[in-house]
Amino acid sequence: MQKKLLLILMVTVTVLSLCLAGCGSKKEQGQEKTETSSEATEKTEEGNRFAKDGADMQTEDPAMPTRIPMEGGTKINMYFGDKVIPGVLNDSDTAKALIEKLPITQHVSRYSHDFCGVTEELPYKEEEVHYGWLNGDIDYATDAPYFTILFEDEDTSEQYGNQVNIGVITCPLEEIAALEGDFDVRIELAEEEEKPEQSKKKSIVAYFSRVGNTDFPEDVDASSSASIQADDGTIKGNAQMIAEWIAEEAGCDTFEILAKDTYPVDYDKTVEQARDEQSEGTRPALKTELENLDEYDTVYLVFPNWWGDLPMPVYSFFDACDLSGKKINVFVTHEGSGFSGTIDTIKELEPKAEVTEAIDVRGGSVTEEEKTIKQWVTENQ
């Protein structure tokens, strides 16, 4: 009777070990026992599906896994005690079902070419089951089922069937190959890396233009003033147009500097008022305020040259905003004076900012300059 029991036990052990198609041979005391599934080999010889299942492979760095991790996969960390093996899971049904369960603890043992352990049943698509693996693959082997991380023997792996690829490790293969023994591996979703503060910052275009600061009647003649441009039936200031092109190219918001009191509709009266404000050092009150200044690291500043200087509401803007540590890219529109001394003035007003003379545009030809302005923005982002 005892003999009969022993025989049954031996048969069971043999059958079980033959089923370990996914787990290779257990590595014990430096010795390797080779177990292959004859059934799997036969299938391969018949020309069944095997090994490289259409995966994108990398061949340049032999230290790294062969399968290129899919873009946008789910990053995981697998804790073998203190050692973290990072990986990426793909978007197969099987991987998705596993991701739903995370975090989990998965028991695995070291075999000749993998870390493998019996796992919970997961759904899989029949057409995704194949033979073989690429070194570095994380597979679900449907036969037990097993969770397995395969890091060696890619070249001879086609004898092992039942493989559904669910991901890839993303560290050098030798890091996992150096581990020995059994582990209760904690598998967790990896925390998304915090991007450095600086890269989260944005840019903004701040501009002052005569049009927004003047209550023009609706039927104003677009050609009656140098500072007015007709654009698809709308009337826009030259600085405003430049600002819109910059915002379009940089993909950022615009902020219009608006004085509380508007300027006269009559051009000459505006010129006079601007001269008086300048000689008296007036700082007109503003009705707009640039909020959340901290969010921005670059300010594109656009304004018209008024009497060889910044319009006084732009001084008010500098009074209201501390642009220390930011980049200020300056664009000026004019009728012949160019930047005048505006760059030096801005440097004095914002000594801790990085002030750059970008482009000056003649008001009369502003519509021809869209390409030049956008190109400057692209090249200086």
Ligand X SMILES: Cc1cc2nc3c(=O)[nH]c(=O)nc-3n(C[C@H](O)[C@H](O)[C@H](O)COP(=O)(O)O)c2cc1C
Residues that bind ligand X (CB under 6 A): 209-211, 226-227, 237-240, 270-271, 274, 304-308, 333-337, 363
**Of residues 81 and 308, the one with the C-beta less far from ligand X:** 308
**Of residues 28 and 272, the one with the C-beta less far from ligand X:** 272
CA–CA separation, 366 and 352 (whole Å): 31
**Of residues 266 and 289, the one with the C-beta less far from ligand X:** 266
**Of residues 62 and 308, the one with the C-beta less far from ligand X:** 308
**Of residues 308 and 325, the one with the C-beta less far from ligand X:** 308
CB of 78 to ligand X, least distance (A): 60
CB of 336 to ligand X, least distance (A): 4
CA–CA separation, 281 and 111 (whole Å): 82
Nearest to 178 by CA among 133, 108, 115: 115
Residues paired with 311 in a beta bridge = none
CA–CA separation, 147 and 139 (whole Å): 6
Give every CB contact of residue 193 below 8 A, 6+ residues apart in sequence: none
Does an H or E element contain 302, and which? strand 296-304
**Of residues 162 and 238, the one with the C-beta less far from ligand X:** 238
CB of 288 to ligand X, least distance (A): 16
- Tokens standing for residue 62: 């032999």
CB 122 within 8 A of CB 97: yes
CB of 257 to ligand X, least distance (A): 11
Q: Which residue is at the shortest CB distance from ligand X? A: 363
CA–CA separation, 167 and 74 (whole Å): 9
CB of 290 to ligand X, least distance (A): 18
- Tokens standing for residue 311: 């319009």
CA–CA separation, 348 and 283 (whole Å): 17
**Of residues 89 and 358, the one with the C-beta less far from ligand X:** 358
Contacts 24+ apart (CB under 8 A), 278-284: 278/306, 278/307, 278/309, 278/312, 282/312, 283/312, 283/315, 283/316, 283/319, 284/259, 284/260, 284/312, 284/313, 284/316
CB of 267 to ligand X, least distance (A): 6
CB of 358 to ligand X, least distance (A): 15
Number of residues that make up the chain: 381
CB of 66 to ligand X, least distance (A): 60
CA angle 186, 192, 195 (to 5 degrees): 150
**Of residues 108 and 228, the one with the C-beta less far from ligand X:** 228
Nearest to 238 by CA among 377, 373, 372, 361: 361
CB of 272 to ligand X, least distance (A): 8
Nearest to 357 by CA among 311, 295, 302: 302
**Of residues 154 and 369, the one with the C-beta less far from ligand X:** 369
